[in-house]
Structure 1
């Protein structure tokens, strides 16, 4: 079977689990995200099989079965390797030839060379042997270490094999020993092959387009990949005009992986096309500009590799200095000369101490007034995350949220807030003096946590304010994307429909757990920055304006101009007026949670068309208010390095973390003992039917096309990297399972639990070994549970069954936000309340006292109105169940009594709840 034939089953279903050699078939990969595992495993299994072939041949045993298996593995690799520059087509041809003539010794040498080349590529540490040298390279270790980072360049052009070799020789021949980076070149013939290559091969960092590329691939594609390409690129990828073909390819490549550097080699009339193409390409070249192409490739990668502040800090640490200033630890002074704490230097290392300094000591930039390296680092981060501006924050996203709220919200402004957002938002709104209108997410009562806020509920709230004549008071909406449990909004749709009702609404998207999402083509569309850019582009299109004008005739009475009834607005997918809608969007991200950064490293991304006119000064003051004058420079440097990593290998790492999560879910579902006690909740468990148009339980498991469909059309989707493990059938509650079984016994660290679930998350640092260890631990636990149930006496068995029933039966329903007490509300028509007034009322002690849970429940049941005096926040997940000024209800108390979380902020385990009784309220209106 040749490569063209073998690509057909390559992406046609199944998975790339770790499998024994005999189980490997061409059907073993379902999505591009798992190609990395299939590729590595296939090379390993092929090496094993060829080694067995050599042994069998030497002993005179039959090689028929082993040889058949070798060709099957080679067919898989023949389908994958054309999209990678290394090991290369020549080596693959040599390998097939040696197997065909049954020269297994040479086949083994070729495989050894290929595997070393793959290892060097992954490590970026060794120059690759050329195809003609691979046998010599296989016979002896590679002698010359190559410290330079390396990458691959994809050339798109339909050219003869001779022309391909000539082009490669020209570019690679220009490499010099003093080049900062090295690259290999791969050439594909068509538009579709280019898209496949950048999907499958994360080592590609630059694309060179030549006008002679074909439209469609010659490969036979599987159903999944074919479906994705048709959906993503459309069925007619061949516009007649050459410039349009080039622009279309460039646009699609940028849409898949915007971090790639794009270059164009124009055949003729380069001066005429340059003006219309410059926006899409870093540079445009004539065919004879080989040296300029080479230098541009290196300069492009250097631009993303640059870390201005990290580099400046490194240089600073190497300079001699005399410290006559604060910070005794600077330059290691108080540590290295100590007789008692030198172990601190041993543990942390000398560089940490050398790099400690103060912004006022000179030599480095200031976070509060950046004009040098920090400014440059923030600008690079804005480019990487698709923002207009980016600001570094060194004390976490809690502070980032406070900065944004204070910069936007003035006392009395109404803010719509997901009640389940992180507690930092609630405290920020209290400090800002906002009137808070809480939005309720849909509940998942069975598992004791919430989903996300339905768009219909958001629209209804805005329409309620319009009907009450208070829409002008609504300033901002704050939502969490994605939620702790992995529920992701359709950000573009939410913003578009809200702006159709209130064109100047400001959005704050808390993306604390979603910083990685901007570096994957399917995730990216549901991030705040990508959705903002997409809407801005739509607003500039005449087509969009026409669609709005047509819809306006439906949404307003043609005679009076009055809005149609709310039901019409709620049942219509609203299109904002592009002439008056303003995109004012902020995203806060915990870089340290899902990308590489030291603890508390966060970023604020801004896409605000009115920032310079309406918010720049207020933002600066808010930033000054909440940012330390002594920021940790190590955190800032790690943010700079984390951005570099995200741009250069973020796509690869996000692909891997999603694929590893799916492999965990599949293993739990397939293992007979694991599935007896555990179950990974599916999209269908976590998102009710009314919020899904597609029906896939695990969209990524079902293929990239299925995930693409779901993430394009469903109101909510689930991040495949979040796995909610249902443990109810173990009879152990989530908090006990987390601490006693996972953490204390096996060192498995997890964050969030509910009464009957544990949240497992993969991240860009998750390895296959870590996944294997997790599965091993779950199997051991399941074996323990199995042994325990068989050895129990009848009474203990009955007690165990009762515990299982309690965790798997319906618990008390999750409480919606009740309401604010009358003294803190604006009126009966709208739900907002003044939590700052309630908060500071409690400073007068005569109005505040404690009630035990029993006494509080008794009074509430008797009909007495009891008002919460503060925030009551189970942690994790970190959102308040009660806020100042909220009326406490029986539903809230029932929920609190069922919680298994040990840490509850704002609740005194000795004295109970802090409350304000309505009769004891100190405000005149009580």
Structure 2
């Protein structure tokens, strides 16, 4: 397709910049163009003549913007914009509108591409209409003449047949930079064809943000040799979107090229192999489109069957002909019942012993999420966490864990009999919730165990990434520095709220699986070994890597090469592990149903463990058997399979949109004069203390993709832009009341989490622009309500309101750190770990426990008695256990509990008080 010439105009220079987040601007531009053309059509004849000679300013602004954007899309593409321009300049406004409106509808509604005049060909009239087929776009990277481009497109598209399962169109770019921009902007691209003729630099006018992003992502100088440039581009495209299929079309010597390029490209072709390339494009997409378990469930539901097994609801037997519950079938639909079975035949496979469609579905999930192995879980990430803990932790193993993690970790560690060493996250007292655990704290704890001669007992580190409130670790750095101290440490990253992150290039680098792959590749690189040797010299450590750090009863497996180096030096230094000793053993648990598409309780476990087969496969299988139901829900499993298919095709687009929509909410709150009077979206500088940040931006993505990439590369902690913590202290309404009485009851706005003075809003891959607009509208209405209430208050009312606001905007009692385990549950006085299992089951003994009211407990603690909790006490919000079995109760904890205004506290009986261990406690 020939590239149209740019039309000169008087005011289009700024408009021609390519925006970094194009989806919203592109949709709005087509819609606004349609409005503007309609206005011309409604004008008087004399005005129409004026418009014919001089297009209105708005149209002159929009056309060059769309010409610049559509260079990176095949449909409708630049030629379509050029046709619109020609019609407008000739005065044929009705024809221009006929070209604009279908595109505006499709782009705004994100429907399958509609064929345009440029893409209608003989091969587009199969038995099944083209519109009914799944469509995608193929990026062709080559700097060729319009005639050569047209010839290649004609050759390839003429291969299409009625039986083809998918329909694709080609978009051409001439340069390395344009290829990267196209992948960033156009999520419809599912495959790339590289041809050696592409050049380095783009001739397009790119935004400052895109230029800055490209400089950081590509570096200042691109490779000069053609082969190096091809390899570099393939690597960069794979880094941005690893799910893409990459193909190379070369003129000569493909036999010699094939050996060095097989890792980067799915296939290599000669220029004459149009049919094979066409078939490969379709086959690559078909491979990702396959959802084997979902397909098996579909097929089962369509087969006639006689049910003679347990499960009366199977095939709808107990529902369809019922006189009293037939409305259940009407509500949920017949397919749900037809697909229900307790049999594992007919291709449905067994979750506990998969050999067919389910095994294949889990392999596809591992590919999509970048794991070595993936396992489906049908009863939530709480169970996934228990499986991982049980598979790794034996009684007596020391586990370092964030005290602020989900309660399933605490229960799992109690059941496993672990020696639990709690890590304290930094507190955000002003907002009544915690941040994340600083790397220095983790390193200091490991070094404390080394100094005590117990480092060999430390088995695992468990952290939450990202936290409920959106604080994200630098996962690779945490693991790298920890492995420098304890080379065989196992990592469990609870990514319950972060499953989506694997499908965006900036988010991905802070996920467990991507970090594990990066570390394994790094440790295998000879250049890293040389870097590590230099690191040891700088530290003054022995070059032989010997530990010399004390007793290591495990035979040296946990030794590092920094035994002679002082703790204070190690704490201040960015540490590197010994590549000859470090083992990459990483587990991730994800709530697919929380942030991706899955039915409720659909979760996954992802594994990248170099020693899985040798050290953990059998115990993992047993743990999986222990916690997994023998009657798993097949609908949940099928939805996990389909959720994986979705993100392999449109995950990048959906994640970029959810983050962009969240930023638009934050901007609306900051700009609206009434909203900013009562509300404030907390940003990076509010939730991440300055000592954990090199960058200074309050909301990096608001400042562009390059700013976000910089923060996510440099800062110890970053904030997920798709999560918005709205500070509501100035309303005088606490978070719990605001959630229930104002948002949910009055306006149907659903949220998960509040603190005493904040509400957490989360965009997700299903959030729409309409939903965002509704939320902003509701917040404005609420602000107007608060304005009206204030205007009607008398003197005492105003005074009472000021008091409420002061309570919500002043610091409450500090969030309590973990106190300590009682001495009888600890190994020694040097290290902090305790055995919760012993404490938990001590409460089973008759007479071992007693209830105390808060006042009586406070009196006894103040008098110096050691009062030990017999139970987990977990307020919601903030949702972390303030007390665990065996923990010593302190004045700070009781003060914090007394200031809570939450409706729900697990483990606390409001009538009886706190359950305390009394038998054998020491004063």
Q: Could you say whether these structures have the same fold, taking a TM-score greater than 0.5 normalized by the shorter chain as the test?
A: yes
2:216 to 224, 227, 231: 231
Aligned counterpart in structure 2 of residue 123 of structure 1, from 99, 108, 111: 111
Per the TM alignment, residue 557 of structure 1 is displaced from its structure 2 partner at its CA by: 4.7
| Cα distance in 2, alignment partners of residues 31 and 803 from structure 1 | 43
CA contact (8 A) 1:86 1:118 kept: no
- 1:649 aligns with 650
Q: Is the Cα contact below 8 Å between 1:4 and 1:219 reproduced in 2?
A: no
Select 2:537's aligned residue among 553, 562, 573.
Answer: 553
Q: Could you tell me how far apart the structure 2 residues matched to 1:580 and 1:239 are?
A: 38
Q: CA deviation at 1:363?
A: 4.6
Deviation (angstroms), 1:859: 1.4
Alpha-carbon deviation of 1:176?
1.2
Alpha-carbon distance in 1 for matches of 2:46, 2:630: 75
Q: CA 1:73–1:868 in 2, change beyond 3 Å: closer, same or farther?
A: same
Aligned to 1:140: none
RMSD of aligned alpha carbons: 2.1
Tell me the equivalent position of 1:18: none
* Partner residue, 2:285: 301
Tell me what 1:56 maps to. 43
How far residue 244 of structure 1 moved from its aligned partner, in angstroms, is: 1.4
The answer to whether the Cα contact below 8 Å between 1:654 and 1:764 also exists between their aligned partners in 2 is: yes
Equivalent residue of 1:376, what SS? helix
SS at match of 1:823: helix
Counterpart of 1:389 in structure 2 is: 373
In structure 2, the CA distance between the partners of 1:213 and 1:299, relative to structure 1 (3 Å rule), is same
Work out the CA distance in 2 between the residues paired with 1:65 and 1:675: 42
> Equivalent residue for 1:817?
818
For 2:742, the equivalent position in structure 1 comes to 741
Counterpart pick for 1:207 among 180, 192, 205 = 192
Q: What is the deviation of 1:115?
A: 3.2
Give 1:342-741 correspondences, 5 Å limit: 342-360=326-344, 363-558=347-542, 562-741=563-742
Per the TM alignment, residue 774 of structure 1 is displaced from its structure 2 partner at its CA by: 0.4
- Which residues of structure 2 form unaligned runs of 5+? 549-562
Distance 1:3-1:226 versus aligned 2 partners, 3 A rule: farther
Pair 1:5–1:316, CA change in 2 (3 A)? farther
How far 1:731 moved relative to its partner?
0.3
Does the 8 Å CA contact 2:12/2:60 hold for their aligned counterparts? no
Question: How far does residue 895 in structure 1 lie from its aligned partner after superposition?
Answer: 1.4
After TM superposition, the structure 1 = structure 2 runs for residues 254-269 of structure 1, keeping only pairs within 5 Å, are 254-269=238-253
Shift in alpha-carbon separation, 1:152–1:229, aligned structure 2, 3 A: same
Q: TM-score when scaled to structure 1? A: 0.94
1:132 offset after TM fit, Å?
8.2
Cα distance, 1:275–1:42 mapped onto 2, change above 3 Å: same
Return the alpha-carbon distance in structure 2 between the equivalents of residues 877 and 30 of structure 1.
Answer: 39
Task: Sort the Cα spacing of 1:765 and 1:113 in 2 relative to 1 into closer, same or farther, 3 A.
Answer: closer
Partner of 1:278 in structure 2?
262
Q: For 1:340 and 1:263, how far apart are their aligned partners in 2?
A: 59
Cα distance in 2 for partners of 1:875, 1:91 equals 55
Q: 1:9 touches 1:221 (CA, 8 Å); kept in 2? A: no
CA distance in 2, matches of 1:313, 1:288: 42
Paired with 2:692 and 2:156, the residues of 1 have a C-alpha distance of 52
Is the counterpart of residue 168 in structure 1 residue 157 in structure 2?
no
Query: Which secondary structure does the structure 2 equivalent of 1:523 belong to?
Result: helix
TM alignment of 1:814-853, pairs within 5 A: 814-853=815-854
**Secondary structure at 2:71 match in 1:** helix
Normalising by structure 2, report the TM-score.
0.94
CA distance in 2, matches of 1:720, 1:298: 35
Q: Is the partner of 2:161 in helix, strand or coil? A: coil
Equivalent residue number for residue 890 of structure 1: 891
- Structure 1 residues 9 and 254, CA, compared in 2 at 3 Å: closer, same or farther? farther
The answer to whether the Cα contact below 8 Å between 2:868 and 2:916 also exists between their aligned partners in 1 is yes
1:338 aligns with 2:339: no
Distance 2:41 2:890 in 1: 76
Distance in 2, Cα, partners of 1:576 & 1:323: 58
- SS at 1:846 equivalent: coil
Distance 2:80 2:900 in 1: 61
Q: Is the 8 A contact 1:440 1:816 kept in 2?
A: yes
Paired residues of 2:27 and 2:108 also in contact (CA < 8 A): no
Q: Are the equivalent residues in 1 in contact too, given 2:755–2:877 (CA < 8 A)?
A: no
Q: Any conservation in 2 of the 1:30–1:703 contact (CA below 8 Å)?
A: no
Count of residues in Structure 1 that have an aligned counterpart in Structure 2:
895
**Aligned match of 1:861:** 862
Taking the TM superposition and a 5 Å limit, the aligned residue runs for 1:173-192 are 173-192=158-177
Tell me if structure 2 keeps the 8 A contact 1:117–1:128.
Answer: no
